[in-house]
Amino acid sequence: MPTTQEKTWRAGRFWWDCPQPSDTTACPLRTVIFDLDALSDLDVDGHRVVFNAAFAAHGLSIAWSVPRYRRLLALHDERQRVAAELRKRCVGPECDVLTELLADEICATKDMMFDEMILDLGLTPRPGLVDLVMDAFADGIPVGVVSSGRRRWVEPLVRQLVGEGLVETVVTGDDVSKPADGYRHALAELGVLPHDALAVTGSADGLRAANAAGLATVLITAGDTGAAARTAAAVRPDYAGSEPLRLTTCRRVHAQWWAQHSPSAA
pLDDT at 241: 84
Indicate whether 3 pLDDT > 80.
no
pLDDT above 70 coverage of the chain, percent: 84
Residues whose CB falls within 8 Å of the CB of residue 81, separated by 6 or more in sequence, listed in order: 72, 73, 75
Q: CA 89 to CA 62: how far, in whole Å?
A: 10
Fold of 44-118: DNA polymerase; domain 1 (1.10.150)
State which of 90-94, 174-178, 218-222 shows the largest mean pLDDT.
174-178
Q: CA 105 to CA 54: how far, in whole Å?
A: 9
Are the C-beta atoms of residues 186 and 180 closer than 8 Å to each other? no
User: DSSP assignment, residue 92?
Assistant: S
What is the phi/psi pair of residue 222, to 5°?
-100, 0
Which CATH architecture group holds 31-41+124-261?
Answer: 3-Layer(aba) Sandwich (3.40)
Q: In this predicted model, what pLDDT tens digit does every residue of 115-172 receive, in sequence order?
A: 999 999 999 999 999 999 999 999 999 999 999 999 999 999 999 999 999 999 999 9
Q: In this predicted model, what pLDDT tens digit does every residue of 5-45 receive, in sequence order?
A: 443 333 333 333 333 443 444 569 999 999 999 999 999 99
**Domain regions of the chain by residue span:** 31-41+124-261, 44-118
E strand or H helix that includes residue 143: strand 143-146
Q: CA 261 to CA 211: how far, in whole Å?
A: 12
Predicted structure pTM score: 0.84
